[in-house]
């Protein structure tokens, strides 16, 4: 059973499972025949150059975009048949700052927890423990607009996980954040995973990609590699994950020029 079976969640084996998932926009094929499986409790990286299909894939998995064809289950729920049920059980944090500057840390958390359906005593107990876990208690009454980049990032993560999601999407969450803050952020990510939250992250920082347990590389809508960072490097005969990324980026740019 899932760790939130008491709230009506269904049992599931894979946090994400897609079969021949496809999305087109007119003649543009954004994602083509995607077969992907992500284990429960896994920290999984989805990588690829701009335009490779990462954002479209995530939007389909979040139930925000309807696939053209194929199938996708997220935490045991069909994303086409029950997109609202999917959204209740996931968290999402993007690189774009989405907090309210004129609210305090605690007020932002209260607002987002209410959006996710937490109310009453359950919410009070959850938020108290959550702020303590993420080290936000000392900042509870500070306005979000006055926080540094690292603290804003920590608050955004707290807002995205206030409802204890089964699956957390992190879309380039550390863009523009200093290295020390990024390191602390990743420590928190692994703590969340250890408690059962599956994490899917996109990033352009290859040192972060190497922190993922497994990676999937997309190129022009196609899945071209899946495995541990070492597996992927070996598959491409490259020196590092960064070399794989650069090679794909150069390949995609060359294909774009060839097609005009």
Q: In the chain, what are the domain boundaries?
A: 5-89+165-258, 99-164
**What's the whole-number mean pLDDT along residues 192-204?**
92
Query: Looking at per-residue confidence, does 12 or 47 come out higher?
Result: 47
Model confidence at 31, pLDDT cuts 50, 70, 90, reads very high
**What's the whole-number mean pLDDT along residues 34-46?**
96
Domain range 5-89+165-258, CATH class: alpha beta
**What's the whole-number mean pLDDT along residues 233-237?**
91
Residues 66-88 as b/e (b if ≥16 CB within 10 A, e otherwise) read ebeebebbbbbbebeeebebbbb
Query: Looking at per-residue confidence, does 21 or 236 come out higher?
Result: 21
Q: Which range (29-33, 96-100, 146-150) has the least confidence?
A: 96-100
- Kindly give, in sequence order, each residue whose CB lies less than 8 Å from that of residue 1, ignoring residues fewer than 6 positions away: 11
Q: Which range (19-23, 147-151, 223-227) has the least confidence?
A: 147-151
Task: Look at residue 143 in the predicted model and tell me its pLDDT.
Answer: 96
Q: Which range (97-111, 127-141, 243-257) has the least confidence?
A: 243-257
For residue 100, is pLDDT > 90?
yes
Task: Look at residue 10 in the predicted model and tell me its pLDDT.
Answer: 64
For residue 63, is pLDDT > 80?
yes
For residue 95, is pLDDT > 80?
no
Query: Is 25 exposed, middle or buried (CB count within 10 Å of its CB: 0-12, 13-18, 19+)?
Result: exposed
For residue 5, is pLDDT > 80?
no
- Report yes or no: 14 and 41 within 8 Å, Cβ to Cβ: no
**What's the whole-number mean pLDDT along residues 121-146?**
89
Task: Look at residue 115 in the predicted model and tell me its pLDDT.
Answer: 84
Task: Look at residue 6 in the predicted model and tell me its pLDDT.
Answer: 40
Q: What's the pTM value of the predicted model, to 2 decimals?
A: 0.87
Query: Looking at per-residue confidence, does 103 or 247 come out higher?
Result: 103
**What's the whole-number mean pLDDT along residues 159-185?**
87
Query: Looking at per-residue confidence, does 32 or 152 come out higher?
Result: 32
For residue 165, is pLDDT > 50?
yes
């Amino acid at each position: 059973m899932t760790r939130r079976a008491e709230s009506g969640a269904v049992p599931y084996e894979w946090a994400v499972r897609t079969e021949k998932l496809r999305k087109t926009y007119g003649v543009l094929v954004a994602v083509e025949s995607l077969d992907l499986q992500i284990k429960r409790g896994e920290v999984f990286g989805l990588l690829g150059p701009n335009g490779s299909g990462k954002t479209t894939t995530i939007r389909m998995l979040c139930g925000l975009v309807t696939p053209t064809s194929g199938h996708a289950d997220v935490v045991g729920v069909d994303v086409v048949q029950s997109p609202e049920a999917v959204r209740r059980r996931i968290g999402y944090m993007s690189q774009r700052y989405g907090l309210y500057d004129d609210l305090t840390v605690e007020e932002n958390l209260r607002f987002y927890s209410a959006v996710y359906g937490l109310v009453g005593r359950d919410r009070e107990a959850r938020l108290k423990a959550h702020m303590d876990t993420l080290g936000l208690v000392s900042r509870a009454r500070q306005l979000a607009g006055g926080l540094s980049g690292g603290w804003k990032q920590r608050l955004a993560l707290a807002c995205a996980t206030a409802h204890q999601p089964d699956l957390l999407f992190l879309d380039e969450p550390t863009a523009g954040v200093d290295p020390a803050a990024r390191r602390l952020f990743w420590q928190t990510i692994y703590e969340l995973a250890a408690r059962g939250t599956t994490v899917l992250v996109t990033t352009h920082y290859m040192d972060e990609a190497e922190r993922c347990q497994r990676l999937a590389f997309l190129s022009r809508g196609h899945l071209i590699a899946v495995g541990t960072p070492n597996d992927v490097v070996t598959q491409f005969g490259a020196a590092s994950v960064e070399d794989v990324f650069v090679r794909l980026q150069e390949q995609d740019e060359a294909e774009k020029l060839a097609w005009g």
